[in-house]
A and B are shown apart, each in its own frame.
Chain A
């Protein structure tokens, strides 16, 4: 498999290549697939144009998120082995194909094609695209992994900011008829294919043994070289599962606000303003939460390079739990406190995603960090079910009015964050006896030596 255009060996950075060319490649993919968070705009258009229920129009997005977690877990090792160009190209093809299949389905009146296209095919693109640049970024920015993955994963949060006004403009231009919807999906498919292609064209991996300028050379002593744990070993270690709990509960707590942001704002401030002002303010609240979610990914993840991963998660989880209690006790009618607390919670939600690859690198090394990250994202899928379930089921079942409707669900969120806090405290460095051998460490996935070793093992 050596020598092909999409192979890892073809994208080893030549002399003079700047590592600052890698973040835009990663951003091109993440800003593209981040469109998923703007599904609500297309959902509304599909509901109006095809006369479908809210449940039916939610299906493509729900399936896409499930496929994101599954494909990241299933294809993680493949992504590590084949390299980021292959992964980004597959992600681009799948994500764009999802729109094109959906456009064909709408044009033919076959809505199941939208579910399969956007949900299944596009969802695979989401999962592979999400993990595709992570390992490469960490290897280029081994001195600042939190900042590097923060930039890329901020792109996933920012993708919706681009997609939302663009989708609104396209639906206005083409109309919310079946023909107009098909045209909207067609244009989006072509646009994302072009936009995301910068990623697989530009991405490069560092030469083996490369170190950032100013960084100390890698030690020859195996004991000093830091962790290098294989994905098969990592998933059998408690550190992985404690981190799984941390990510799952941090995401669940964020969804606690994100899922019903509009309704929460109306229930907390509905009695203090007119209906028209309230609608505008609630929409603005949703918008500013997106901004906090996105900025938190970069700011807090970059901060983790300075204060350490364990400490930053102490803040996400510990302060996050306190902020939920602040909203419950002081938030009613006090917009400033309510806004500060909810914006911080959402910034911690986004930051939890962005910081976790660097946490994995600290624990397991860069050896197979992309594949391990893929497995860990199943925590996101679990939180995607758990979060809405807690918020919607409990709030809908409540007879209370106003902020009191959220008392039980916010207390549960506080408890989940406290459990996450304890799980973070239980994370210890991995025992060196779990590291891979020196021979395996010297032949990372995708290298010719690793290929020879694999073929030797199968002979």
Chain B
């Protein structure tokens, strides 16, 4: 069964994987960046 479902995406699925990860990572990185901006006030 392992040969039917791969570990790393290929072809069209690679594009889908990139879009899917960007969909969640862009807002996430924006949130982390907004938070990190506040940290210097701690010191």
Tell me which residues from 1 to 43 in chain B have a Cβ below 8 Å from any Cβ of chain A.
Answer: 1-2, 4-11, 13, 16-17, 20-21, 23-24, 27-28, 30-32, 34-36, 38-43
Is there contact, CB below 8 Å, between A213 and B2? yes
CA distance A163 to B30 in the complex (A): 10
B7 and A15: CB pair below 8 A?
A: no
> B1–A213 contact, CB under 8 A?
no
Tally of contacts, chain A with chain B, CB under 8 A: 117
Q: What residues of chain B lie closer than 8 Å to A214, measured between beta carbons? A: 2
Our pick among A15, A284, A339 for the contact of B5 (Cβ within 8 Å) is: A15
Q: Are A207 and B1 in contact (CB under 8 A)?
A: yes
* Contact between chains at B1 and A210 (CB < 8 Å): yes
Contact call A213/B6, Cβ cutoff below 8 A: yes
Residue A448 is within 8 A (CB to CB) of chain B in the complex? no
Contacts of A21 in B (CB 8 A): 9, 13, 16-17, 20
Q: Is the interface of A mostly helix, strand, loop or mixed?
A: helix
- Check if A173 is an interface residue, CB within 8 A of chain B: no
The answer for the CA separation of A202 and B35 in the assembled complex, in Å, is 29
CB <8 Å contact, A18 and B7: yes
Min CB distance B32 to A, Å, is 6
- Residues of A in contact, count (CB < 8 Å): 45
The 0/1 profile, CB within 8 Å of B marked 1, for residues 1-45 of chain A is 000000000000101111111001101100100000000000000
Determine whether the beta carbon of A25 is less than 8 Å from that of B32.
Answer: no
**Could you tell me if A17 and B5 are in contact, using CB atoms closer than 8 angstroms?**
yes
- Chain A min CB distance to B30 (Å): 7
Are A158 and B32 closer than 8 Å at their CB atoms? Answer: yes
Inter-subunit contact B8/A20 (CB<8 Å) = yes
Contact indicator A210/B5 (Cβ below 8 Å): yes
* Cβ–Cβ contact B17 & A18, under 8 A: yes
Q: Which listed segment binds B: A115-123, A285-293, A408-416?
A: A285-293
Using CB atoms, name the residue of chain B closest to A13.
Answer: B5
Give A335 to B30 CA distance when docked, in angstroms: 28
Cβ-based interface call for A209 (8 A): yes
Contact A211 B42 (CB under 8 A): no
Whether a CB of chain B sits under 8 angstroms from the CB of A155 is yes
- Do B23 and A284 touch across chains, with their CB atoms under 8 A apart? no
Known: A16-B5, A161-B28, A211-B1. A24 touches B41 (CB 8 A): no
Q: Is the CB of B41 within 8 A of A20?
A: no
Residues of B contacting A206 with CB < 8 Å?
A: 5
**Chain A residues, CB < 8 A from B24:** 24, 27-28, 31, 155, 198
Contact of A16 among B10, B28, B32 (CB under 8 A): B10
CA of A165 to CA of B43, assembled, Å: 22
Provide the residues of chain A in CB contact with B27, threshold 8 Å. 31, 162, 195
Q: Which residue of A lies closest to B23 (CB)?
A: A198
Please indicate the chain B residues that have their CB under 8 angstroms from the CB of A385 in the complex: none
- For the complex, what is the distance from the CA of A212 to the CA of B8, rounded to whole Å? 11
| Residue with the greatest number of chain A CB neighbours at <10 A, chosen from B6, B9, B21, B42 | B42
Interface residues, chain B, with chain A CB atoms under 8 Å away: 1-2, 4-11, 13, 16-17, 20-21, 23-24, 27-28, 30-32, 34-36, 38-43
- 11 cross-chain CB contacts under 8 A: A17-B5, A20-B17, A158-B31, A202-B20, A207-B5, A211-B1, A284-B38, A285-B42, A288-B38, A288-B42, A339-B42
